[in-house]
Every structure is written in C-alpha cells, then in structure tokens.
C-alpha cells in the first residue's frame, strides 16, 4: 500500500503524505516513497513546482518510533528537496512535530492554516533535532529556534511565520497558497531553477559541512539509554523518568 499519493494539475505536482494512522510519521517506507516521487518530479519537464501536503490532522509527526528511517536516509530526503531544480511548497492544515519540521525547513515555501501547530519535541524523548537542523539553521530566526528546540513548547502558525519556518498562514490555506502557485506558473522553468540554486546555496553548504557529523550524532542519541526511556514513555503515554 502506497503512503505517498501523486497528482498533477497545471504543471504542479502534489505529493500527499497518506499514512494518517501513523500521523504521517517518517517511516523507512514513507521516506523511501517520498524520495522516489520527488526524483520523478525532478525529471519531469511538465512539472513546474511541487506541493507537499497530507491527509489527516497531522502533516508529519516526526520519526516513526516503530519503524525509524536511518539518519542518512533522512539526510538524503531533506537534501533531495533542497536540491530539486523546482520550487517545493509545503501545504499544512494540521500539526507538525519534530522531523516534520525538517520537511518544512527543506521546502522553499511553506504555508499553513490558522489551526496548525508546531513543536520540536526531540528533547522530550531524549534526543536532539540534529539532522533537521541542516535546513532550519540557515533559514530560521536563531532566538526562536533556541527557545522551541530547548523547551519542546508548542506554538502556532503566526509564530511559525515570525520565526521564518512558514512563508505565510491564514484561515484558508488554499487561499494563501493560490498566489504562490500562480506566481510559479508565470515563471520560466530555467529562471526558477537558477533562482532556487541561488537561494539554497547556504543551505547546501551546511549539508556539505555538517551532514556526516549530525548523522553520527543522531545515531548515537537514538541508541542512548535516555532515548530508550523517552521513546518508551511516549509510546506508553507516561512521563519519562527525568521529569521533575
């Protein structure tokens, strides 16, 4: 059963994360299918832009704790979004947690409905937002990242816009999205590719410089005793042992 659905309309490919039972968590299967769909969009001359969206009330809940992808696979997926020679636009109507925020950070544009919520929950299960920091650190407000990555607090769409995580937000997400897609449809494919390359140069520098070290850090943290306790507590719906 596929967990990423693909549709095309007026030169825009829409990739829909379709695993609502797992809150579209980043499983090995989902990461693999999404990477393949993005690769096909990159090769398709009829695709001018890609919209990344979801079914259910959660855009992406982060890593699937029951079937987590290897850290290097997640790095590869994020890099594929950044390197794709076409704009990738995230369309969010629900909640985004942990690794899902890495997907938003990798996208060129991101819009959300007013009810969307966001949280970097890694510290609450004993790990760190290591790999997803690659696209986020060059693009987001550092003070906002410090607050939300260190506390795991939940925040709303307006704050996500202020922090640089979102491009725009509004009550009707499709109303917010429409002018962005219209602008892309009026732009030349080559100009879009060259402009995207200019805008993502610093992000790709971070991948080249830091990806190996952050992949190793992620693997080390996920195998730690604190992470085992944190993930067990999450799955058992209880507080981890360190809560005071």
Would you call 122 a catalytic residue per the annotation? yes
Strands 58-60 and 49-54: unpaired
Nearest partner of 111 among 23, 48, 183, judged by Cα? 183
Is the pLDDT at 196 greater than 90? The verdict is: yes
28-43 and 71-83 are packed helices; what angle lies between their axes, rounded to 10 degrees? 20
pLDDT (0 to 100) of residue 240: 97
Strands 4-9 and 12-17: antiparallel
Is the pLDDT at 95 greater than 90? The verdict is: yes
pLDDT single digits (tens) 18-38: 999 999 999 999 999 999 999
pLDDT single digits (tens) 123-166: 999 999 999 999 999 999 999 999 999 999 999 999 999 999 99
Is the pLDDT at 119 greater than 90? The verdict is: yes
pLDDT (0 to 100) of residue 85: 97
**Segment 4-11 long-range contacts (CB within 8 Å, at least 24 positions apart):** 4/30, 4/33, 4/34, 4/37, 6/37, 6/40, 8/46, 8/47, 10/185, 11/46, 11/47, 11/48, 11/49, 11/185
What's the CATH number for 4-173? Answer: 3.90.226.10
pLDDT (0 to 100) of residue 68: 85
What does the DSSP assignment read for 88-151?
EEEEESSEEETHHHHHHHHSSEEEEETT-EEE--GGGGT---TTTHHHHTTTS-HHHHHHHHHH
pLDDT (0 to 100) of residue 16: 98
Q: Are 62 and 100 in contact (CB under 8 A)?
A: yes
Q: Six-digit token pair at 163?
A: 């922090």
Sequence spans of domains, the chain: 4-173
pLDDT (0 to 100) of residue 10: 96
Under the banding of pLDDT at 50, 70 and 90, the label for residue 66 is confident
Distance CA 159, CA 101 (A): 14
pLDDT (0 to 100) of residue 197: 98
pLDDT (0 to 100) of residue 202: 97
Kindly report whether the global pTM for this prediction surpasses the value 0.85.
yes
Q: Are 52 and 82 in contact (CB under 8 A)?
A: no
Strands 117-119 and 95-97: parallel
Distance CA 35, CA 80 (A): 7
33, 93, 122, 159: which one is catalytic? 122
């Amino acid at each position: 059963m596929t967990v990423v659905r693909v549709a095309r309309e007026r030169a825009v490919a829409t990739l829909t994360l379709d695993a609502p039972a797992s809150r579209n968590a980043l499983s090995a299967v989902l990461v693999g299918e999404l990477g393949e769909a993005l690769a096909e969009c990159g090769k398709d001359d009829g695709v001018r832009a890609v919209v990344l969206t979801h079914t259910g009330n959660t855009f992406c809940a982060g890593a699937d704790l029951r079937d987590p992808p290897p850290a290097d696979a997640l790095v590869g997926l994020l890099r594929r979004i950044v390197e794709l020679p076409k704009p990738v636009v995230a369309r969010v109507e629900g909640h985004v947690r942990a690794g899902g925020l890495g997907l938003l950070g990798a996208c060129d544009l991101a819009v959300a409905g007013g009810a969307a919520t966001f949280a970097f929950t890694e510290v609450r299960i004993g790990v760190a937002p290591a790999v997803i920091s690659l696209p986020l650190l060059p693009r987001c407000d550092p003070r906002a990242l410090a607050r939300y990555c260190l506390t795991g607090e939940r925040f709303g769409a307006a704050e996500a816009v202020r922090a640089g995580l979102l491009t725009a937000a509004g009550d009707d997400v499709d109303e917010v999205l429409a002018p962005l897609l219209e602008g892309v449809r009026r732009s030349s494919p080559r100009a879009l590719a060259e402009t995207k390359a200019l805008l993502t140069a610093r992000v790709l520098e971070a991948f080249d410089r830091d990806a190996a070290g952050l992949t190793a850090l992620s693997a080390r943290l996920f195998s730690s005793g604190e992470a085992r306790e944190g993930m067990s507590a999450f799955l058992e719906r209880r507080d981890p042992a360190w809560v005071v």
